Amino acid sequence: MRDGVVYQIYPRSFQDSDGDGVGDLAGIRSRLDHLVWLGVDALWMSPIYPSPMADFGYDVAGYMDVDPVFGDLAQFDALTEAAHERGLRVLMDVVPCHTSIEHPWFREHPDWYIWADRPNNWISAFGGSAWAPRDGRYYLHSFYPEQPDLDWRNPEVIEAMQDALRFWLDRGADGYRVDAIDRLLKDPQLRDDPPASQPFGLPLREDEAKLALTNSRNAPDTGAALAKIREACGDAFLVGEVYLPSARWQPYSDYFDAVFAFELLHSPWDAHLLRAAIEATTRQPRPAWVMSNHDFGRLSARFGERNARAAAMLLLTLPGPAFLYQGDEIGQGEGPPGATRFDRAGRDRHRHPMQWEGSPRGGFTTGEPWLPLTDPAERNVAGQRDDPTSMLSLVRELIALRRELGEQFEPLDAGEGIVAFRRGGHTVAINTTSEPLRVALEGELCIQTAAGALQDGRLAPHAGAIGVD
């Protein structure tokens, strides 16, 4: 997986097999050949565990089963077997920081969670206090109140979570995307977060930015808990969702195979800022590149529809694992901002169903989809698959080329508005502006974001090109 491409599947929205309007494991299995055709190396599924869906699966009510909305363990087994037969690895999404408040542990083992007699100033990821009252005390919830935080300094918690990790690996999973791992250990004395003395380095809400966030997350002894996760997982692939600037990745990079590069994901589409994000991240070990997902939005929305092809080229040519969110290979759009039916944080718009063909239901379901499709008539797999000029064909070409790129990475000074670098014998150049710009692309032209993007030494606006020696 050193340079592999991982395809993120949001199970509710990938493929429905039974007409209830919600995607499921059998549906994923039926679409595996799309992933093979695309050329990816692995798939990562957002959580499929039993859950009351207060946070759509990230509130886990049982770590060793499948929520009936997605299927059952037999269907999971069938999916992993079919994936492995096709040479695809399967990554689960594990949520070690917290459970659902409806998990039996919260009733049966309250000492497995973090409690205080009075709240401190810690803030929830969704705003407001991170403490909720219960039975005369307060429990910690770094996310929604329905998601109480586990106490990873309790050996019984560690043992239970190690059992859960081994359970899925024993059933055929090949690794994990580890959710919100920087929240795993907090200050054991539950001291207030001090005022911020310097910028955090990644986007924060205004209330969070006022605090240093040094006690509510990322405790100095986090490495001890990470070692227990690695012990349970052996050689399985682990990628961490660590919401920290890359310069602060240790100890996560000591125990994980890759760490998500949030500096690039949050960078505006500006050559100077993109270069800074890439160069800062590549100075650190084990970056995993991600430019969109179910929380932060689709590629075409984050960077603009006219930049989507160039953004895909950037994502798929950087060194290290790349994570491609379902639908981005066809440039799928988003739902309207603020149109929230389910997610209280307003993330429904990033999660609309996959568009397989141009009908109103897009080939996703025979029933009423849980969220409406966004633009199936304009963007769908069937309509793009045989079109050599399509976004889908470009992404497939880039994934195939990725296997030819060497480990070497050398940023190039290509002038204002251009992001350029060398990967082995290949040169990548991307124009982030609305004007054609001169570039010195070495070698023979092998891929362009659109026909004629590079002409007479000038790269078209919002375009990218790759040359090979």
Instruction: Show which residues are catalytic.
Output: 179, 241
DSSP string, 130-155: SEEEETTEEEE-SS-TTSPBB-TTSH
Q: Three-state SS for 7?
A: strand
Please write down the long-range contacts of 353-357, taking CB distance under 8 Å and 24 or more positions apart.
353/13, 353/14, 353/16, 353/23, 354/13, 354/14, 354/15, 354/23, 354/326, 354/327, 354/381, 355/327, 355/330, 355/379, 355/380, 355/381, 356/15, 356/31, 356/380, 356/381, 356/382, 357/381, 357/382, 357/383
Do residues 429 and 453 touch, judged by C-beta distance below 8 A? no
Rounded-to-integer distance, Cα 275 and Cα 297, Å = 21
Burial state string for 316-330 with b = 16 or more CB within 10 A and e = fewer than 16: bbbbbbbbbbbbbbb
Do residues 239 and 221 touch, judged by C-beta distance below 8 A? no
- What single-letter amino acid sits at 209? A
DSSP type of residue 129: B
Which H, E and C letters describe 177-242, residue by residue?
Answer: EECCHHHCCCCCCCCCCCECCCCCCCCCCHHHHCECCCCCCCCCCHHHHHHHHHHHHCCCEEEECC
